[in-house]
Every structure is written in C-alpha cells, then in structure tokens.
Amino acid sequence: MSSILHLTCFYWYDATRTDCGTSGQKRVNMTALDQRGLNVVGIRYRGSTPSSGDERSVDFYREAGVYGDLAETATFVDPGFPESERAESATANLGVMGGAIASAVADGIRAGRGTVMVGGDCAHITGVLGGWQDVHGPNARIGLVWFDAHGDFNTSRTTLSGMLGGMPVAVAAGLDFPEWREASHLAAPIPTDRILMVDVRDLDPAEQTLIEATSVRIAAPADGFPGEDLQACVDDLASRCDYLYLHIDSDIVDASLVPNHGTQAPNGPSVEQVAAAIDTVMATGKVVALAMVSVSGDGEGADVTRASAAGMLRAGIESWQRHGIPEWDR
C-alpha cells in the first residue's frame, strides 16, 4: 500500500451558498481510512422483520474478504430490534429499527470510524443519517448520494404499491411518516438539495413528478445513460456538504447481474460502470458512510447477485482507502 495513504491531506470547497448555513472557505482535514478503521453495521432484517441465517448476506462479505486488511481492526455490530417496543404500526416499527441502527452508527462515529452498513434494505437509511445527527446535531451538513434503480421517493399519496420500502428517501426528506424519521434519531429532515440520485431508471410517474418538484438531482451512472453529468453533480453536492453518505442498492446494476433481487430492473449499468461512479463520489474525500443493501442469499441466482454486490462493495472500500475520509469532532 502506498505510503501516501498515511498522510493527512486537505480538501477545499466553496461554502458561500446561503443554504449551507455558513459562509466562506472551509478546509476539511482528511486521513487515511486505514488509520481510522471501519464500523461495520450488519442488518439481519427486512424492514423490522428478522431474517434467517445469512439471508441478508451480512456474513458473506467478511467471509469473501471484501473488507481486506481493514477487517483485522474493524468493529462488527448487528443491531437488533427491541421486541418490547414492537407496535402495530409498520412505520413505527421501522422507526424503532432505525433508532437501533442510529445508536450503532453513532458509536462508530464517536470512535472516529467510517460507517459501512450491509444487509438490510433501503428502509434503513434513516438510521444511518440519524446516527450522524446523534453525534453532530440536526444542523450536520450531510448529503445523501443514492445509487439505485429506484428513487424510493414515493409517499403515501404517490405510491402505486403501498410498499414502504419505496418511500425512505422521501421520509428522510421530511415528506411523510415523521414518526419513522424521528424515531430513527433523524430530528431534522435532509434538505432535498442535499440529495443526489444516481440512475433511478425505474420511477413511478407520480414519484417522478414529486422529485421534479424538489431540488433533488438525478445523475447518469455512466456515459450513455439518462441523467445529468455525474462529476458535475457530485462536485456541486460536495461543495455544499461536510460529509457524504453513499448508499447502494444492489439493483442499480442490470437485472441480469442481480437475478434474485425482488425489484430488479433491466437496462442498468455493469458492476464496472458502477465501480467507476463510486470512485467519482469517493474522490471528494467527504464520504463518511457507505452502504450495500438488498442482497439476498436465498433463491436461484443468489451467487450471481452476491458476486455483483461484493464487486461493488469491494470497489467502494478500495476507493475509500485511496481517497481518504474526513476528520470530525468526536
């Protein structure tokens, strides 16, 4: 490993925009991920429902060596749902689950570690974001970079299916189900101008209309795909945020690469194209959390899906090691 990874480096950005909550130039100290280590948060649940065995592929990544040398110093934690708090409401239960995740994420942040969330599904993003607000407060300037075939930006008014798993980004943005968001420790919604979606090739019509009514931007994952230029969008987001959370649903890749995924979509990018897009985000030096979710170890084609997910997650961690992680007050 190059010795340059052990140096502290600096990233400058223009924080003059009024929606940033500050003004002037700010210097962000960065250190090597190898020095800081990982806090791997494994979610053995679908929503708030426990999964069996390694159905969510939490153990698979470690056994496959995806974390590399970082596994030796990483902390591994599997937050559980406190059954004494289970309610009749599905959204209330997602909030309780999010709160358990937030506490596990916050412990790692206070230890100075980068967050990796594996297993679970997209409904768990509120917990990762809530963990950051637990430590840094509701004014923390964190941006969400959303790699997915879907926007997950439906609300109870726009949804066609009623599936809560299609709503977490809208929930994080404060557009629906405040009990889910607040119980996840996400006291302040994420402003929509701090949300960048990548790919989202399969949007419901009303969902697309809602996205277009906000400041959310949609970038192409690679050349030849619909969306704005990824580099320009990432640069803009990084200029207005202190930290970035890169969230990846495995269905961002083409359906042939995730054959047992419940919401696979055709005409998607390859693992290699997604890896290059991941590197564009990591190159900002502002990524503090990375997630790979919705990877089932069950059913026909599970080995193909797991291989695709491992390829993307490995690419993300290796890129993170190259580009570094920002410092923060603990």
Q: Are 40 and 290 in contact (CB under 8 A)?
A: no
CB 200 within 8 Å of CB 146: yes
Q: What pLDDT digit, counting tens, does each position of 185-220 carry?
A: 999 999 999 999 999 999 999 999 999 999 999 999
Those residues with Cβ within 8 angstroms of residue 256's Cβ, 6 or more apart along the chain or in another chain: none
Q: Where residue 171 sits, what CATH number does that domain have?
A: 3.40.800.10
Q: What is the mean pLDDT of residues 217-236?
A: 98
Stated pTM of the model: 0.92
Any bridge partners for residue 292, and if so which?
Answer: 118, 248
Give 2-55 pLDDT, tens digit per residue: 333 333 333 333 322 334 333 333 445 778 999 999 999 999 999 999 999 999
- What domain count does the chain have? 1
Cα 231–chain centre separation? 18
302-323 and 271-282 helices cross at what angle (nearest 10)?
30
Rounded average pLDDT over 159-182: 97
Range of the domain at 16: 3-326
